[in-house]
Amino acid sequence: MSQPPLSIVILAAGQGTRMRSTRPKVLHPVAGEPMLAHVLRTARSLSPEGIHVIYGHGGEAVRETLDAPDVSWVEQPEQLGTGHAVMQALPHIPDDHRVLVLCGDVPLVRRETLEPLIDAADGALALLTIELDDPSGYGRVLRDADGAVRAVVEDKDAAPEERTVREINTGVLCAAAGRFRGWLDRTDRNNAQGEYYLTDCIALAVAEGTLVCTAAATDPMEVQGVNNRQQLALVERAYQGRMAERLMTEGVTLLDPERLDVRGSLECGHDVVIDVGCVFEGTVVLGDHVTVGPYSVLRDTRLGDGSHIESHSVLEGVDSAGGNAIGPFARMRPGTRLASRAKIGNFVETKNTDVGEGSKINHLSYVGDTDVGRDVNIGAGTITCNYDGANKHRTVIGDGAFIGSDTQLVAPVKVGKGATIGAGSTIVRDTPDDQLTLSRSRQVSLPEWERPKKK
């Protein structure tokens, strides 16, 4: 027998006053993405018929940031509690659908934890709970002498003996839409918060004889809500801890798993080594035997087998073949492409540049909008002058060329194959193959000249 369709309601209308921020709470990032984006990804993994996000008055930024064809946005102009929030979504959901309620500020909940809860909600009200050593601030799950759930009481409404209960409500529950509709129609705001509590549905279900069952979460961080900056930091480190465990299980060496930040996707080949303090953003792919030195930042970058990144390097939008050496303190901007065995050294910046096989830009240079051939050596202090104040122009350096230190190549310009550019030159015209080209003033010495003296 097939299960009833599933609709998911995500509560994302809270103002988050304890965050002390002008940004809506659910847009604060975890691993580089808004908290709500993580919840939406988990919701989509359950293949629901519909996803309904409850957003608050003034929360248009939430909708603009995460709008998608599969998301229905429902405004809750007045924040009158979790029960009131679900009431706003129910008119859009058929009675026979199971409704899974998630929280937009609980970003680490996993599909594997939610699936048993959804299955248990067939003909019942299913509640996700967990036992905490310190349950302060959470609603307590109250059971009768036989262990059956009889109610959930919010922390502010709980009697002293009820506050000793360690099993807490996570805010995640599931039941048929028609049943939620009936229960919520009978709730009121006669409580310490003056709100419609979604958890009042539990006592109403028990009173009418509906089975209330629970599923247990095993990881407290999976159901950790975020209400302040401290909790945001806890969730961030928990996410990064998960990522570190996955990478090490797949064979990656992390020299300190607690000093890793992945803010996107990171795919690694065999025997990858990542040093401390590295940040990976967007989509990053590392081939076999890649090493990444400490405190480097890689964003939307692919590194081929055997590439080596020295410390404090920043790579963005880089596509690198195998066997490359980069850094330390290199900055490679979008559009940089390296053939195999290329070298980008310390304090070198590249942008929109192709570097040929075996070529070297060892130190203190800017090479932008340039085609660098094979086996080129670019000396220290070289600059490609690619911008004339209005337009960008391209420089082409032929195979085997040698560019002397402190050279300015004023684009558009082409350096011939095997050409040598003398140090200190400013090149404004194309240079021939296999010849020395230089531009310098005649060197003179002035025997009568005296250095100025301080007055």
Report residue 123 as tokens: 């003909």
Interval 67-80 mean pLDDT: 93
**Dihedral of alpha carbons 291, 293, 295, 297, sign:** negative
Q: Would you call 11 exposed, middle or buried from its count of C-beta atoms within 10 A (0-12, 13-18, 19+)?
A: buried
Helices (H), 129-228: 177-184, 200-207
Interval 312-336 mean pLDDT: 97
What is the tens place of the pLDDT at every residue in 199-250? Answer: 899 989 999 999 999 999 989 999 999 999 999 999 999 999 999 999 999 9
The answer to whether 312 and 295 have CB atoms below 8 angstroms apart is yes
pLDDT of residue 1: 53
Interval 35-58 mean pLDDT: 95
363 catalytic residue (yes or no): yes
Report residue 92 as tokens: 């859009």
Interval 361-376 mean pLDDT: 98
Q: Label residue 30 left, alpha or beta by phi (over 0 means left) and psi (-120 to 50 means alpha).
A: beta
Is 443 a residue whose pLDDT tops 80?
no
Is 305 a residue whose pLDDT tops 70?
yes
Is 193 a residue whose pLDDT tops 90?
no
For tokens 């993405």, what's the residue?
33
CA 364 to chain centre: 32
Identify the CATH class of 243-437. mainly beta
Per-domain boundaries in the chain: 6-223, 243-437
SS3 109: coil
What is the tens place of the pLDDT at every residue in 77-119? Answer: 888 999 999 999 999 999 999 999 999 999 999 999 999 999 9
Compare 454 and 178 and report the one with higher pLDDT: 178
- Report the C-alpha gap between 352 and 338 in whole angstroms: 11
Q: Which amino acid is residue 8, in one-letter code? A: I
Phi, psi of 347 (to 5 degrees): 55, 40
The answer to whether 295 and 314 have CB atoms below 8 angstroms apart is no
Of the candidates 93, 118, 94, the residue with the CA atom closest to the CA atom of residue 42: 118
What is the CATH T-level fold of the domain 6-223, as seen in this structure?
A: Spore Coat Polysaccharide Biosynthesis Protein SpsA; Chain A (3.90.550)
Q: Which amino acid is residue 56, in one-letter code? A: G
Is 449 a residue whose pLDDT tops 80?
no
- Report the C-alpha gap between 79 and 345 in whole angstroms: 56
pTM: predicted TM-score of the whole model, two decimal places: 0.89
Which string of DSSP letters, residue by residue, matches 410-447? Answer: ESSEEEPTT-EE-TT-EE-S-B-TT-EE---PPP---T
Is 253 a residue whose pLDDT tops 60?
yes
| Mean residue pLDDT across the chain | 94
Which residue among the candidates 52, 312, 363, 393 is catalytic per the annotation? 363
pLDDT of residue 126: 95
- Report the C-alpha gap between 191 and 153 in whole angstroms: 10
For tokens 């690694």, what's the residue?
268
Phi, psi of 8 (to 5 degrees): -120, 130
Interval 408-412 mean pLDDT: 97
For tokens 């979504």, what's the residue?
89
Is 450 a residue whose pLDDT tops 90?
no
Of the candidates 25, 72, 438, 408, the residue with the CA atom closest to the CA atom of residue 226: 25
Is 448 a residue whose pLDDT tops 90?
no
Residue 194's pLDDT band (boundaries 50, 70, 90)? confident
Of the candidates 172, 236, 222, 221, the residue with the CA atom closest to the CA atom of residue 28: 236
Strands (E), 63-201: 71-76, 98-103, 125-131, 140-143, 149-153, 167-176
Residue 440's pLDDT band (boundaries 50, 70, 90)? confident
Q: What is the dihedral of CA 199, 200, 203, 209, to 10 degrees?
A: -90
**For residues 86-103, b (16+ Cβ closer than 10 Å) or e, as one string?**
bbbbbeebeeebbbbbbb
What is the tens place of the pLDDT at every residue in 420-435? Answer: 999 999 999 999 999 9
The answer to whether 417 and 373 have CB atoms below 8 angstroms apart is yes
pLDDT of residue 344: 98
